[in-house]
Structure 1
Amino acid sequence: MVAIKASAVDAFLSRPQADAYAVLLYGPDAGLVAERAAKLAARAVENSDDPFALIRLDGDELAGDPGRLADEARTIALFGGKRAIRVRVGGRAIVSAVEALLSGPPPESLTVIEAGDLKKNAPLRALCEKHAHAAALPCYADEAAGRERLIDEEMRAANLTISPDARSLLSAHLSADRLAAREEVKKLCLYAMGAGRIEPDDIVAVIADAGEVGMDEAVDAAFSGRAADTAAALRSLRTGGTPTSVVLMAALRHALALHKMRGDFDGGRSARSVVESAGGAIHFRRKESFERALSRWTSQRLIEAVTRLADAVTLSRKSAAIGEAASERALLAIASEAARAGR
């Protein structure tokens, strides 16, 4: 069987080839590997009434007893019907066990093998890609289209809809790991059950990390010239366990983003147009703050802010003893500069 491309994996999962006795799922996204393995195994035993139809085997144990996999796969189900075997690859090679499975008569079970990120020349991947009765499915981290499909699936299952702004915010906050992302969306759907439609406030309440939102508030206060609010936000974050040096890094990233946007603003575009073109990269609650900052901070002042913040970052890394004080001083200096620019 030829190697299956990542774009064709969903089609294979919807209609697995009947002559594939072993299916290898591999890739860096462990959550996606596990989710697809569960889907394949469940499909194989969906018409079985046997409570023992699904068997789990440890890869390292199979490495010490290569013939066990073939024996399990050719065992007839006690109550009839199909069986499925899920094998999680560990640190030891199981190529011999898979070869023994594929070299004999057709088994009574589908074997689903879960592995990590295998190189093209990895023996297990090469075997499953080339053997007529095996398949190898690559599982890579969700891209935008994958996240959108996941959101749509869970919305349909919960009989909910989601507004465009909420969808954009949700997609931006989801983990790249498929299982982790799906659990987050399920949690959101449970929170919004009965509401009918999910709005941005629901995302903030359930998905967005409170510490991240707090850092955004501190950074926005600084770049808006509100020194008192900046100091209060920093105190609150420290109380919650977030050091000021971490906020400093967020402020540096913010200054760099503003400097890039300011180029478009100087080119004749409105602040609102520049901010809107960033899409989901900017939290909907922060858009107004970004617009004000673009109007207040010139490109030259932003360069000076970047230099000030970068110097503070360097100092905080050299000396933890004075790093917090240096970080807070730099952020309050940014607030003072913004206040002067707004007069």
Structure 2
Amino acid sequence: MVAIKAHEAERTLARLDPAWRLVLIYGPDAGLVSERASALGRSSVDDPNDAFQLIRMDGDVVAADPLRLVDEANTIGLFGGRRAIRVSPTSKPLQAAVEPLLATPSQDALVIVEAGDLQRTNPLRTACERARTALAVPCYGDAARDLGTIIDEMVRGAAKSIDRNTRDHLAGLLGGDRQTSRREIEKLLLYVGSEPAILAEHVEAVVGDTAQREQAMLVDAVFAGKLPVLDLAQAKLSSEGLDPSVMLGAVLRQALALLKARQAIDAGRGVRDVVGTMRLPYPRIATTEAALNTWSSAKLNDAVGLLGNAILATRQSADMGRAIATRALWTLARVGRTNRAD
């Protein structure tokens, strides 16, 4: 079996075993998946700009016609040299295209398959992990250490400096998606302009707290019953590697805060008066008032119980975590669509 841990990915890809003729790069961090696939493709050919050496194939097309990948992998280049085939992500099954190459690996081309967050039981993942000639590479959201490295590299590349405290603060504001983090840093460098150092005030002025903003969007969508917004926020947070139990925890904290506020309103205080004591960011004041006007204490008590059980279930069954979280959030959002305060 050739399956590696997430922290081993960079080192393993830098010294790729020639016996591995197919590399599956997968995970919730789509930006990191793309970045690693791109780097591996470039390093596996003599001229990355030559379309005959570095071939791009659409995952949907490959899934519809599996033999196209097999044919391309077994095609001998007209001008010799190393070849690499990079298959883009698809939601459709690719086993039919990949399994022949696992049984009879291409001797001429390295096949790089990009994929999303594959569960342990996913047929494509398990097939690649079991094959001796394939490598499965997981890509999860960047840890603070990884973000620090990215920040240092990009700041040095721009011929600027950043002190440790400012760097740590910046890393804390970035989300788990590699491409999103790079865009935020690029935006910051553009804002700094010709100044030699990145300062804390630059970071505060430019870089939004991506993860917290997206969590707030998810939380507010649940209690407002906005299912499309909930789907969008959950997909974004999942792509950044946020654990389902963390999402549920954010909603649970809001449910508890709303319950406490709702009980104060039931005791005779006004909604605006209660919300004014919650020290909320301005954009969330209106959504919180609306939630308090549509959720009763009884319904919020039910929500707290449902979320507590869902969090426990995700911790007991990590493989089912996303499905459990989705079901709980959708259940509450449906209540939010029709709920009215008693």
Shorter-chain-normalised TM-score: which range? 0.5 to 0.7
Local SS of the residue matching 1:176: coil
Unaligned ranges ≥5, structure 1: 214-241, 250-306, 336-343
Tell whether 2:330 aligns with 1:330.
no
TM-score (norm 2): 0.61
- Structure 1, residues 11-39: CA drift from partner, whole Å, max 9, x if none? 01222222211100111111211111111
Tell whether 2:261 aligns with 1:312.
yes
Mapping for residues 14-163 of structure 1, pairs under 5 Å: 14-47=14-47, 50-104=50-104, 106-163=106-163
* Aligned counterparts of 2:51 and 2:188: Cα–Cα separation in 1: 32
Mapping for residues 188-199 of structure 1, pairs under 5 Å: 188-199=188-199
Structure 1 pair 117/164, CA: closer, same or farther in 2 (3 Å)? same
Contact 2:47 2:53 in 1 (8 A): no
Q: Which amino acid aligns with 2:16?
A: P
* Structure 1 position 154, deviation (Å): 1.1
Local SS of the residue matching 2:100: helix
The structure that has the greater radius of gyration is: 1
Unaligned ranges ≥5, structure 2: 224-255, 280-342
- Structure 1, residues 270-320: CA drift from partner, whole Å, max 9, x if none? xxxxxxxxxxxxxxxxxxxxxxxxxxxxxxxxxxxxx9975436789x9xx
Contact 2:170 2:203 in 1 (8 A): yes
Which residue does 1:9 correspond to in 2?
Answer: 9
* Structure 1 position 49, deviation (Å): 5.8
Local SS of the residue matching 1:85: strand
* Structure 1 position 7, deviation (Å): 1.6
Local SS of the residue matching 1:201: helix
* Aligned counterparts of 1:5 and 1:31: Cα–Cα separation in 2: 18
Tell whether 2:134 aligns with 1:185.
no
Local SS of the residue matching 2:2: coil
Contact 2:24 2:114 in 1 (8 A): yes
Deviates more, 1:38-47 or 1:307-316: 307-316
Local SS of the residue matching 1:312: helix
* Aligned counterparts of 2:110 and 2:12: Cα–Cα separation in 1: 14
Contact 2:261 2:275 in 1 (8 A): no
Structure 1 pair 105/195, CA: closer, same or farther in 2 (3 Å)? same
* Structure 1 position 102, deviation (Å): 2.7
* Aligned counterparts of 2:138 and 2:200: Cα–Cα separation in 1: 34
* Aligned counterparts of 2:105 and 2:259: Cα–Cα separation in 1: 66
Misfit runs of 4+, over 6 Å: none
* Structure 1 position 106, deviation (Å): 3.2
Among the aligned pairs, what percent are the same residue? 41
* Aligned counterparts of 1:30 and 1:315: Cα–Cα separation in 2: 44
Contact 1:84 1:109 in 2 (8 A): yes
Contact 1:49 1:79 in 2 (8 A): no
Local SS of the residue matching 1:28: coil
